[in-house]
Structure 1
């Protein structure tokens, strides 16, 4: 029997059209309209959605990503199989727990919004994130220690996201090319906050209290913890994992391997974007992977998933 998994993305693929599929479904469209009315400081999420400048600001980006992911889930959940496993990338881990049923959808929106504000308050000096490919992980880890940077996310043995103060990053970039490796490339990440590093430590106490105050229940659908790829379904583990990933490295390569090790044969990324399904397809080509972002209609998504189970 084919095993099915869902992926919940992090920041980076926001667009003005990120709710297009969900708006084809009545209940999901109502959720979208309510979510977009939410105000954060002087703007609503609807304002941010239509503003290229605000769309990638952390305080708006995090709740928008959660809203888009959960809207797609609401639009599809009655017509696709119950997932055997769920994984969320960065902020997507909150969405993953909402999809699993351990956190209510509206509570997940509240947690994402508060998380973004707490993290933004840690930015006293400009911060950056940088995707680096081609360098050996062990060499990069030693490099970051010597340049006061951090490995925020490991996507593969030679693909990582670095994070740190913008000044430190700018000084380090010219030296990255001298590391042992092959065709080392650096790409700016559209996230202006050093997520998953000790630079977020000041946000941890407030986020811990927020998680303690948020109702969390045991779920039958486990979620892979980003910090270690372990399957979690109990409230205490869910809270501790979400707290830890704010300041610790995300081991996404291990999460992808865990999907394969657990016999997953079909994966749907809930979007927006298709970065996670593309990464998984490269690492584990025997797993059928698609993102809702690749389809023009909800029927197209449903039909693709059904075909994987008809084989």
Structure 2
């Protein structure tokens, strides 16, 4: 029996065609219009999709990615078996709770916009923040170096791959050491140090927003990014969504949890395909694809049919 996981991405892979596959469904295209994204994002959606500087600005990127993910879900959900698990990477965890039926799409997009605004307030103009990927050096060694340079582990990706965040000025000496050890450091298009203590000032206000949001128990288990455990109750969901702003995401453990839960099939809703690639690389027996691999919704349905029992 096949068991499907839905993967909801974070920031970094936005592109101008990120809504196109979902818009092939006329009903979904109409639904996107009803979300009033231009009002939520502060400018017309098509203008944002034509402007990379807008697409990657944090205040726009977070609600934009959630909206694109949920548009994709609306387009494919009737083509899929009921998922056994949903996992969201960073801001993707907000979208994951909508996929799981805990919150509405409009509330998820609003939460993403509020989250982004609160996080932006944590970054001061005279103390800019950055996030980088670090590969090629054991994660335990990198974690020790981060502490020495007053930087922070943000996401555990693998045994020799992590995401780090902190004040931009602290990265130059850290980067030099990593490169001297044969590793590589690559800057990410994110201007706030997500999942680190630098976001602490946003925690209380975002927790309050979550408490006021209409939130039900998830109908499908959602993996907590900070605990790598399935969440089935709304209070735990809200607590974890708040805490993941300031705590590292255990994505490596989330991927392992998918395998432990018997997942045989995983579909990333996009934009991007990084989550599908990472999961398949770590657990090759899981058939993994991203929606962006397909040219049509019919193609998605055909792939699912081939791999589902």
TM-score interval for Structure 1 and Structure 2 normalised by the shorter chain? over 0.9
Whose strand proportion is higher, 1 or 2? 1
Specify the SS of the correspondent of 1:18.
Answer: coil
In the other structure, the counterpart of 1:100 is 100
Per the TM alignment, residue 44 of structure 1 is displaced from its structure 2 partner at its CA by: 4.1
* 2:162 aligned to which of 150, 160, 163: 160
Q: Matched residues in 1 for 2:237 and 2:108: separation?
A: 13
What is residue 231 of structure 2 aligned with on the other side? 232
User: The residue matched to 2:191 in structure 1 has which SS?
Assistant: coil
Cα deviations by residue, 1:214-268 (Å, 9 ceiling, x for unpaired): 0111123100000011100111000001001000000000000000000000000
Q: Distance in 1 between matches of 2:203 and 2:275?
A: 27
Query: For residue 131 of structure 2, what is the aligned residue in structure 1?
Result: 129
For residues 268-304 of structure 1, give each alpha carbon's deviation from its aligned partner in whole angstroms, at most 9, with x where no partner exists.
Answer: 0011110000000100000000000100001101110
Secondary structure at the counterpart of residue 60 of structure 1: helix
TM-score between both structures, scaled by the size of structure 1: 0.96
Q: Which residue of 1 aligns with 2:69?
A: 69
Q: How far apart are residue 133 of structure 1 and its match?
A: 0.6
**Aligned mate of 1:140, from 139, 142, 161:** 142
More displaced stretch, 86-95 vs 44-53: 44-53
Aligned length: 307
Residues 36, 45 of structure 1: 8 Å contact kept? no
1:45 Cα deviation (Å)? 4.0
Q: Is 2:9 the counterpart of 1:9?
A: yes
1:185-219 deviation digits (Å, cap 9, x = unpaired): 11111111100000000000110110000011112
Distance 1:222 1:8 in 2: 14
Q: Does the 8 Å CA contact 2:41/2:63 hold for their aligned counterparts?
A: no
Residue 197 of structure 2 aligns with which residue?
198
1:247 paired with 2:249, answer no
Separation (CA, whole Å) in 2 of partners of 1:27 and 1:258: 35
- Describe the SS at the equivalent of 1:93: helix
How big is the shift at 1:43? 3.0
Unaligned runs of 5+ in 2: none
Partner of 2:21: 21
- How big is the alpha-carbon RMSD for the aligned residues of Structure 1 and Structure 2? 1.3
Q: How far has the Cα of 1:55 moved from its partner?
A: 0.8
Deviation at residue 36 of structure 1 after TM alignment: 5.7
Q: 8 Å contact 1:45–1:60 — kept in the other structure?
A: no
Contact preservation (8 Å) 2:40, 2:110 = no
**2:307 maps to 1:305:** no
Distance in 2 between residues matched to 1:173 and 1:40, nearest whole Å:
37
Matched residue SS, 1:78 = helix
Taking the aligned partners of 1:196 and 1:54, their CA distance within structure 2 comes to 22
Q: Distance in 2 between matches of 1:33 and 1:127?
A: 34
Mind listing any 5+ residue stretches in structure 1 that lack a counterpart? Answer: none
